[in-house]
Amino acid sequence: MTDLQFAIFDLDDTLYPRDAGVMPAIGARIHQYMVERLGLEEERARSLRQTYLARYGTTMRGLLVHHHIDPEDYLQYVHLVPLADLLRPAPRLDAALSEIKAEKLIFTNATREHARRVLHTLGIERHFTRIVDIRDMDYRSKPHPAAYAKLLELLRARPPACLLVDDSARNLWPARELGMITVLVGDGHPAEGVDFVIEEIAEISEVVKRLGV
Ligand SMILES: [Mg+2]
């Protein structure tokens, strides 16, 4: 038995399959923002984005540091994607979440508005008690260590009481370092440095059963 209290889920590419195409749609909006709002040439926008992603983990942090953008304007702009065309209700996931007794919440580098739209489109919003979003992290997104410290502070939780599910191993490593139980979702990933690997998110209830909670 563990003392698992919180089942914490990343949102994008974790609660729905990567091939749904939501992230490429958001990526296209980010590019459009850099070209239209900041007036950058297409090629310049592409190369800066790669530079910022490599250096800061997100394009947004690079734009905040070097272009002094308004983060709220940026976040609203880039999340304007046609979710209803890309996502469908997920009844298997809905059933799997029902089997998890721990408190369930979302921990996302996106906004709570985007998270609510995704959860609503998947038909699983009723399971989640709260959304910890990019603003709650003071715009310091996963995998920055400050994001996890903020999460634990908001939940008043000890790391071993937390299970974290994410499609990015890079986002799980800092959590495991702290002592959280980590689950990588999606195939084709290197699985080093995580506790469990599942191929699709509906398998999460099996992991929780194996933990004996
Ligand atoms: Mg993700």
Helix (H) or strand (E) holding 81: none
| Distance (Å) from CA 117 to ligand 1 centroid | 15
| Distance (Å) from CA 149 to ligand 1 centroid | 19
∠108-72-83 over CA atoms, to 5°?
Answer: 55
| Distance (Å) from CA 174 to ligand 1 centroid | 15
Residue 1 has a pLDDT of 52
- Domains of the chain in sequence order: 6-16+88-210 (3.40.50.1000), 22-78 (1.10.150.450)
| Distance (Å) from CA 36 to ligand 1 centroid | 26
| Distance (Å) from CA 147 to ligand 1 centroid | 14
Residue 186 has a pLDDT of 86
**pLDDT by 10s per residue, the chain, length 213:** 568 999 999 999 999 999 999 999 999 999 999 999 999 999 999 999 999 988 887 899 999 999 999 999 999 999 999 999 999 999 999 999 999 999 999 999 999 999 999 999 999 999 999 999 999 999 888 989 999 999 999 999 999 999 999 999 989 999 999 999 999 998 666 678 899 999 999 999 999 988 876
